[in-house]
Structure 1
Amino acid sequence: MPKINYVTSGKTFEVPENSNILRMSLRYDGDLPNRCGGGLCGSCVCKVEKGAEFLDNVKKQERRKLGDELLSQGYRLGCQTFVNGGDVSLSWSEEITNFVKKRKPDKLEKEATPQA
């Protein structure tokens, strides 16, 4: 079974295949910030530190909320992302979380992204 390492909270959990990052954080108290669980608010944005190859494909909602720039830097939405086949390490920061929460999908091209 794969493991999810929530680097920021210092917690690691063994999870079943095809587990959702946010759901596993809620189940095992991984402390990943969250609010809506549907990819709308952006609260669960996290950076994939290791194991990106063990995550499913980027969803439309992630592309709309994060934009290509944040996706290319390794950010994903925990509520939209599933782990398959190997261990994953994730981190998050208040600065990026607040930035993503304020983003409006229709204004992605007009906003400058902070460097993390």
Structure 2
Amino acid sequence: MIQITFINNDRKVVSAPENSNLLRVSLREQGGIPFKCGGGICGTCKCRIEQGLEHADEVKPKERKHLSDEQLAQGYRMACQTFVRGDIAVSW
């Protein structure tokens, strides 16, 4: 199991299986990441992985439509497109 810390939600910490989708964990555990479509179309679930960016999977093409190279380098991702392999802390 991995640990996900939702910084904007009073630093709420939840456990999830490795390779979990970040938005699905947020929805299931009431983490609080905002969303609308859940499919990479709207960009509402843009968030920043503050710690543990190395534990996120590769950037998807849908993310590149909403995030610049600079934002990606700063740790921004779209929660609906991101799968997590280790402990992270995320803000939005």
- TM-score, structure 2 normalization: 0.94
Instruction: Structure 2 unaligned segments of length 5 or more: list them.
Output: none
Counterpart of 1:100?
Answer: none
Q: Hey, which of these two has a bigger chunk of strand by percent? A: 2
CA RMSD in angstroms comes to 0.8
Larger Rg: 1
Counterpart of 1:87?
Answer: 87
Moved over 2 A (4+): none
Instruction: Structure 1 unaligned segments of length 5 or more: list them.
Output: 93-116
Report which structure shows greater RCO (CA 8 Å, sep ≥6): 2
Residue 37 (structure 1) shift: 0.4
- TM-score, structure 1 normalization: 0.76
Cα separation, 1, equivalents of 2:17 and 2:55: 13
Could you say what secondary structure the match of 1:66 adopts? coil
How many residue pairs are counted as aligned between the two chains?
A: 91
